[in-house]
Structure 1
Amino acid sequence: MSEVLAEVAAPEMARSIPHAWAGQMIRPLADKGVGTPASFVAKEFVLERVRGDEVLRISALGLYRAFINGKRVGSDELTPGWTSYDVRLSYQTYKVSDLLVPGVNRIEIWLADGWLRSQMMWGQAPIFNTWGSEIAAIAELRAGAAADAPVLLATDDSWESGELPIRKSGIYFGEIFDARFKPHPTDGTAVIDFDTARLIPHETMPVKELEPLEVVKQWTDPEGRTVYDFGQNAGGYVAFDVTGAPGAKVIVEHGEILDKDGVFYNGNLRTAEARLEYILAGSGTEQYRPHFTFQGFRYARVTIEGEAKLSHIRLIPISSVTEVKAGFTSGNALVNRLVLNTLWSQRANFIEVPTDCPQRDERLGWTGDAQVFAGTACYLADAHDFFKKWVRDVMADQREDGAVPHVVPDPTRLNPKDYPGFFGSTGWGDAIAIVPWQLYLHYGDAAFLRETLPAMVKWVDFVWSISDGPIVSPPRNWGGRGFSFGDWLQPSGPSAKPLPTIGDDAAATIYLYITSTLVARIARIVGNAEVADRMEAMASKVKAAFASEFVTPSGRLCYDDQTSYALAFLHDLIPADKQEAAKAYFKATIARSDGRIGTGFIGTPALLPALVKIGEPRLAADVFLQEEVPGWLYQVKMGATTIWERWDAIQPDGTIYNPQMNSYNHYAYGAVCQWLLEGVAGFRPDPEAPAFTTIIFEPTIVPELSPVKAYHDSPAGMIRAEWTLDGGKVRYEIEIPARSSGVLRLDQAYRNVTVDGKPGSTGEQTLTEGKHLITFDYSAPPRAQRDGTNINARTP
């Protein structure tokens, strides 16, 4: 099989010096438009000899798959990937010498609708032909990897075209494949107007197949259809072997869950048909897996029409992140499964773009989801290039006034009719600063901070401009300039007396402070003092205005909800003289929700770290470990194998909640894994020495989780931390990679500290590379505090 070849130039250089293409972008005249059969372009060519260093550069409008002499080029899926196609289009480079022969050769490039022109956005107002109405390909074969190597073949209007057995294909739709259809040339090709300066080397790991998942259970429903359970919700597709008569059909439908009666269910997919239809050729054992689509599912329901029999079916997960870079295990099986669920949600939603979900008529790169999860993502996988590529699309889609779209790549930018103003939400657009900052913390990428700083500044200025001042008052109406999602999907509590939720103005103002402060810090790092000074002055005004507008004289925040307190405490927005009172009010919000979560997308990642910060690690642990809805462990108890979009996606009696917006594979709430690694296991990067050059070790002891083991294969090397609690004595063992150092910080409540057998302290201590053993005494808080006796008061 041909080998993918990285471009010789660094991505930054490649972006500034476009490759001089010999090939032209050509469209197949056999193509009849969106929703019609896929097409190919092909060419025969002659080589006097095969040198051994031949390279194919290739891209497409739509999705492509290339073959030379009938053998597939590479093993990447969904190429050329998904970007803001009108500005940036990726190309791939492959070594193909092993596919070539002296004499006559044939290259064939299959093309399908893909993200370019199949349905985008939900069914009430679908967008077709989002970035163009014509599928097309560009390719060139050169005698060597150098940009000026001799050209052996290039796309032009001498190529031929024809239809493919793929009779219909779409990201949301699925695929219809008629194996009886034999591709043959019927038409020519035409060169289309295309600026090759849009072409960039593929910037991240390509989408790859992961290990197949076999069937763990199967049954036949009353209609005679077979339902297969693969035991794991994932993003990918099925592959199957089948024998039968010509014209027989295998129809596959996909679902994430069973309903309360154990019946296959896919109502939450909305208008996404998410189906496969394979029509047999009738030639022995036939093997099939789709070519240009993917689905999110755990269950496959198979209907057979005519004479056919499946002999093997499996689920093939796909992802842009293929290596696991971190792990966390504890003495609590539900917590261990929660971490695994988060990993599977990341895999399923890191397919070219950090999407919200892989299954319904959406699958979009929501900026809010990405920013809250970016830290966790960088632990669980090498997400460096993946996020860099995506943030460059964010910048490409950013509006002139600085507003950042809700989703990137943004299908509404060129098609705003049904989605006016689909940009500018605080907490979402802040991804333009927060994601690059996480890349700096984890990978030390200061160059990317420098590249993205102007876009960050434009965003902060936009948010300030919403209300022309430090207090941001977003409009309530969708599409209004600066509309905010607030704390999306925050649970409201009992219907008889809903719990308070953060107001859009408080949420937007807090995020203006978070990001202006962060951009000031970033500007200092990259040496832009002018921007740093201006952002610091802006942040100072926002902080003062927040205290005046949202903090009452008694220390209570005006919306008096968990998210307000969590974000305000975590980001030091509460005046010093109000903090003790505000802590009591914060704890009271937990008590009013019966010790359960009261936060949504932006509040949830802040909740547990904020409780620890105010000196309530026991309360943080209780909130995390409670197993009722809303709660992290509730969904695990209900059989989840990925993270849900909604806390109450399935009711305790098995009832499915609100199928019109109910995904069972949404990674956002999995951001709690960052707290498990950084808070409980206790290791994190030092912003002053990023990329784990210096590692801060600061564990939070949660007795119910003992023993805890965690690791992270960081850019600096393997980091390990584990602790056990035995009779009030903690053994904390850590490993620092070579050429890194550690800083140990222990809570003042820990006593009788030893470090490598010598007396230690709860102050800051420097540790060298290698393994270290820390011991200390731990006493759980009195039970009264844990039961809420001290946190029920409405006033401090």
Structure 2
Amino acid sequence: MEKIFDNAKFIYTEFDNYFDPKEKAWGAPRPRLYQHTEIAEGSGLPMFASNFEIGSDGKTELFFSALGIVDIYINGKRVGNDEMKPGWTNYHKRALYYNYDVSDFVGRGKNRILAVVSSGWYSGRIVGDYYGGNNPAFIANIIHNGESILTTNENWEATVGGSVRTADIWDGEYYDATQDSYAKISTVGYDSAEWGKAEICDYFNGVLTPFVGPTVQVRDELSLRSKAMTVYDGIRYNGSNYGEINICANPESFPLTLKKGQILIIDLEQEMVGWAKLTLKGARGTTVNVHYAEFLNDSGEISRGNDGAKGSLYTINLRSALAKEIYILSGDGEETYRPTFTFYGYRYVQISAENDIEITDFISEVVGSVTEEIGTVETSNELVNKLISNTLWGQRGNYLSVPTDCPQRDERYGWTGDAQAFSVTAAYNANVRDFFRKWMQDARDAQSDEGAYSEVIPRSGCCSAENEAGWTDVGIIVPYNMYVMYNDIELLNDHYDSMEKYIAQLIEKFGMAGANARFGDWLAYDQCDKTFISSAYFVHDLDLMIKMSGVLGKNDRAEHYKELRKQAYAYFVENYMRDGKLIGQTQTDKIIVLAFDLVDGDYAKELADELVEQIKTNGNRLSTGFLGTYNLCTTLSKYGKDKMAYTLLMQRNEPSWLYSIDQGATTIWERWNSYTKENGFGDVGMNSFNHYAYGSVVEWMYRYMAGIEPGTPGFGTVILQPRVDTRTAEELPDGQKRMTYAKASYKSGAGLIESEWHSENGFTYKCTVPVTAELRLPIFGEKFTVNGVEHGFDEYEIKDGCALIGLAPGEYVFEEK
């Protein structure tokens, strides 16, 4: 444990949660927990308080951590802007601590601190009793002018109570504003005579280490207002199983009065992650119910998967997660509430109350890890632009302490397959270097003693399988991708021993076959041999280990992995090729071997041609799942098949990226057909409307469509390779038009990179580079100008239909004639 906490102890107080942590929670409704149940009132949350004195001016620092989610108040003020503190880690191994400068919160004389701790990721339903199912706990040290003046110990006051009566990440929050507020409880002189004393926690055996990565905050610049509102007051018969809502008003703005018996549904027209911030007026003790959902029921028909009346919230896909709030009004004029110990994934917010209330303001606050958004892409196709937006919103919502698979149902885990498939796209969209440094620390903590990574990171009460091909390879793939995108050699150094352990135990358990073949190409319409994925990914892992060993100067280890690679590739050839040809014939088979360079020369070109023809035969549609899809368009362009990449990008039939947009998607969905206008809702057992993995096509848009790619790691040099849509009228599928414009920017560590092309009236290419770059300029004419100066293509090396032009840092405009 860090020396800063040498004299501090984790403290707790006895706390009865509202559920049995030993019961399996994930994926299975509980008798009292299903989508139409309200969150129950509990007895409050564990609270810890202490008075302390300061005798002089100066700098006062607060060091703290928690087993659970903690919120802190000093002298009536909430401390800090961070949410969901201290973040999710494997509590068997580690908890993170924060350090705040609280000089502005304290003064000479008496002061008072209060910490409120919910079960959170430590002992909430999301993990059950995986970390022991123990009471939430808190540890702190206050240092003034370099001297410790207060540490947590058995002399702290402790009780269970306060305004938050129930809190759970999956289920939501119950807040009673008639109870004393945390601000009041944290003021000097507060009467805590009936409180008990804290007890010393002896069940945390991990280490306390400084917080790493971006903190979770309300991202005010992204928060949303209502786009449309509906008020209804009951259900009327429409011939369907559930009927339809009886609409009585469509308010256009706030403030508004909501009558007893009426229900307000707010449509944000955008799926997001966070919570509603409400400003209300009403009688003391009035109960306000707030519900969240991703979709509305479209017909009231069970045959279309509806779980309620047409126009009402569709919530059965949340499975056992309640995702709700109850707020009890204090009656003290205008009052504002938003949750603290949970978050929701939603597009729609529903509000009702047991008495008349006035809603004076509403804002939907976006909550997530604060990763600076450093990339932009736009095109001449508005549906593609919507796809780009949907992908970014999916990333914003699911990058919350860990890269979750989805943010709304009884899951929200750090699924490794989703994260590795999307990691390069994520790094183009935002600065995720520190986010992944934190998560790779989580990966090392999740690693078994033998060296196996788990399928979700951090480990939790379920989904704890190890060595899953394409998933647990994340411990190799993500560090390499972060090296390429950020030149993050520090991460390679920190993580290298862990990667070696992973590879060694794979060989010990599976020989040269690779990891378990459980998932294969998850959710593919045409599934390949799952063991093929295991073998191909193992060879790929070894290729990356060779490269990373070389980067770190570990040449002996590089030679070691070269030898292992020969053996693994021999196994691959023996089992998945016959007479020099690939046995498997799905799209994914061909994509993976081409992406991972498992074939080369003429046969690679032959396979690329076969892949294009196979896609054409399938109606110009993909048939891939998570692993095949993220490699699809980049592999096509790698082999010069840009025309098919564009055709797939702008396909609107199922399955395709634009198909879900035509069905109403505002983020990326878990399934290509999670909802269809023709048939309704998909399989309720696994049907998330915010599941970012398929958004990995945006990587292709940056790298190939706009053409921004690192020439050396971290964009020390740049490759500009704009791939223009050159499909002729005869080559365009029915309903498609050529892309005539693409523009991207990327704020690399070296500086801003911009790339833009127009092809409607001739060809114009504009770029900005902060470092030396190689431009691979496509040739459409005989001559061109650079910043107005004419040049001939014969001045440059020509390769694959492009002129190779060296650029010094600067801004350029190329026009071809």
TM-score, with normalisation over the residues of structure 2?
Answer: 0.85
Classify the secondary structure of the residue corresponding to 2:71: strand
Q: 1:200 to 1:329 in 2, by over 3 A?
A: same
Q: Distance in 2 between matches of 1:270 and 1:437?
A: 36
Is 2:362 the counterpart of 1:313?
Answer: yes
Does the 8 Å contact 2:517/2:531 carry over to 1? no
For 1:791, the equivalent position in structure 2 comes to: none
Aligned-pair CA distance for 1:706: 2.2
For 2:713, the equivalent position in structure 1 comes to: 690
Is 2:92 the counterpart of 1:94?
Answer: no
Does the 8 Å contact 2:93/2:206 carry over to 1? no
For 2:808, the equivalent position in structure 1 comes to: 768
For 2:276, the equivalent position in structure 1 comes to: 238
For 2:303, the equivalent position in structure 1 comes to: none
Does the 8 Å contact 1:501/1:559 carry over to 2? no
Q: 1:723 aligns with which of 754, 757, 778?
A: 757
Is 2:672 the counterpart of 1:647?
Answer: yes
Aligned-pair CA distance for 1:337: 1.1
Classify the secondary structure of the residue corresponding to 2:458: coil
Higher mean C-alpha displacement, 347-356 vs 610-619: 610-619
Q: 1:120 to 1:724 in 2, by over 3 A?
A: same
Q: 1:651 to 1:466 in 2, by over 3 A?
A: farther
Aligned-pair CA distance for 1:50: 2.6
Q: 1:161 to 1:751 in 2, by over 3 A?
A: farther
Classify the secondary structure of the residue corresponding to 1:726: coil
Classify the secondary structure of the residue corresponding to 1:691: helix
Is 2:58 the counterpart of 1:25?
Answer: no
Higher mean C-alpha displacement, 403-412 vs 535-544: 535-544
For 1:200, the equivalent position in structure 2 comes to: 209
Is 2:773 the counterpart of 1:742?
Answer: yes
Classify the secondary structure of the residue corresponding to 2:454: coil
Q: 1:577 to 1:438 in 2, by over 3 A?
A: closer
For 2:230, the equivalent position in structure 1 comes to: 219
Is 2:165 the counterpart of 1:142?
Answer: no
Q: Distance in 2 between matches of 1:248 and 1:602?
A: 50
Q: 1:545 aligns with which of 545, 551, 571?
A: 571
Is 2:51 the counterpart of 1:44?
Answer: yes
Aligned-pair CA distance for 1:751: 6.4
Aligned-pair CA distance for 1:550: 2.1
Q: 1:759 to 1:513 in 2, by over 3 A?
A: same
For 2:542, the equivalent position in structure 1 comes to: 516
The one-letter amino acid of 2:169's match is I
Aligned-pair CA distance for 1:47: 1.4
Q: Distance in 2 between matches of 1:434 and 1:468?
A: 20
Classify the secondary structure of the residue corresponding to 1:93: strand
Classify the secondary structure of the residue corresponding to 1:238: strand
Classify the secondary structure of the residue corresponding to 2:685: helix
For 1:78, the equivalent position in structure 2 comes to: 84
Aligned-pair CA distance for 1:34: 5.8
Does the 8 Å contact 2:92/2:205 carry over to 1? no
Q: Distance in 1 between matches of 2:564 and 2:812?
A: 44
State the identity %.
Answer: 31
Q: 1:626 aligns with which of 651, 657, 661?
A: 651
Does the 8 Å contact 2:4/2:141 carry over to 1? no
Structure 2 unaligned regions, length at least 5:
20-41, 186-190, 235-261, 300-310, 727-737
For 1:455, the equivalent position in structure 2 comes to: 498
Deviations 1:427-472 (A, max 9, x none): 1111111111121112211121122112222222333344323x44
Deviations 1:287-343 (A, max 9, x none): 110110000001011121134332222211111035321110111011111111111
The one-letter amino acid of 1:209's match is V
Aligned-pair CA distance for 1:84: 1.0
Is 2:392 the counterpart of 1:343?
Answer: yes
Q: 1:466 to 1:489 in 2, by over 3 A?
A: farther
Q: How does 1:254-653 map to 2 (within 5 A)?
A: 254-261=292-299, 262-412=311-461, 422-469=465-512, 471-472=513-514, 482-491=516-525, 500-553=526-579, 555=581, 557-653=582-678
For 1:786, the equivalent position in structure 2 comes to: none
Classify the secondary structure of the residue corresponding to 1:582: helix
Q: Let me know the Cα RMSD of the aligned residues.
A: 2.1
Q: Distance in 2 between matches of 1:755 and 1:21?
A: 65
Does the 8 Å contact 1:249/1:308 carry over to 2? no
Aligned-pair CA distance for 1:44: 1.0
The one-letter amino acid of 2:212's match is E
Q: 1:631 to 1:545 in 2, by over 3 A?
A: same
Q: Distance in 1 between matches of 2:763 and 2:779?
A: 14
Classify the secondary structure of the residue corresponding to 1:671: helix
Q: Distance in 2 between matches of 1:267 and 1:776?
A: 56
Q: Distance in 2 between matches of 1:746 and 1:64?
A: 54
Q: How does 1:244-255 map to 2 (within 5 A)?
A: 244-255=282-293
Does the 8 Å contact 2:12/2:46 carry over to 1? no
Q: 1:197 to 1:129 in 2, by over 3 A?
A: closer
Q: Distance in 2 between matches of 1:691 and 1:529?
A: 22
The one-letter amino acid of 1:697's match is L
Does the 8 Å contact 1:230/1:314 carry over to 2? no
Does the 8 Å contact 1:354/1:365 carry over to 2? yes
Aligned-pair CA distance for 1:708: 1.1
Q: Distance in 2 between matches of 1:235 and 1:131?
A: 29
Does the 8 Å contact 1:560/1:589 carry over to 2? no
Classify the secondary structure of the residue corresponding to 1:606: helix
Q: Distance in 1 between matches of 2:312 and 2:566?
A: 56
For 1:115, the equivalent position in structure 2 comes to: 121
Deviations 1:548-582 (A, max 9, x none): 43234484x32211111111112221253533442
Does the 8 Å contact 2:297/2:314 carry over to 1? yes
Q: Distance in 2 between matches of 1:578 and 1:610?
A: 15
Higher mean C-alpha displacement, 17-26 vs 583-592: 17-26
The one-letter amino acid of 2:773's match is G
For 1:787, the equivalent position in structure 2 comes to: none
Aligned-pair CA distance for 1:22: 3.1
Aligned-pair CA distance for 1:773: 2.5
For 1:172, the equivalent position in structure 2 comes to: 170
Q: Distance in 2 between matches of 1:48 and 1:451?
A: 43
Q: Distance in 2 between matches of 1:533 and 1:430?
A: 21
Q: Distance in 2 between matches of 1:383 and 1:750?
A: 41
Aligned-pair CA distance for 1:150: 0.6
Q: 1:537 to 1:751 in 2, by over 3 A?
A: farther
Structure 1 unaligned regions, length at least 5:
1-14, 122-126, 413-417, 475-481, 492-499, 778-796
Deviations 1:346-380 (A, max 9, x none): 11001100000000000000011110111111111
Classify the secondary structure of the residue corresponding to 1:214: coil
Q: Distance in 1 between matches of 2:132 and 2:274?
A: 24
TM-score, with normalisation over the residues of structure 1?
Answer: 0.87
Q: Distance in 1 between matches of 2:320 and 2:424?
A: 33
Q: Distance in 2 between matches of 1:234 and 1:374?
A: 20
Aligned positions, number: 722
Q: Distance in 2 between matches of 1:575 and 1:545?
A: 17
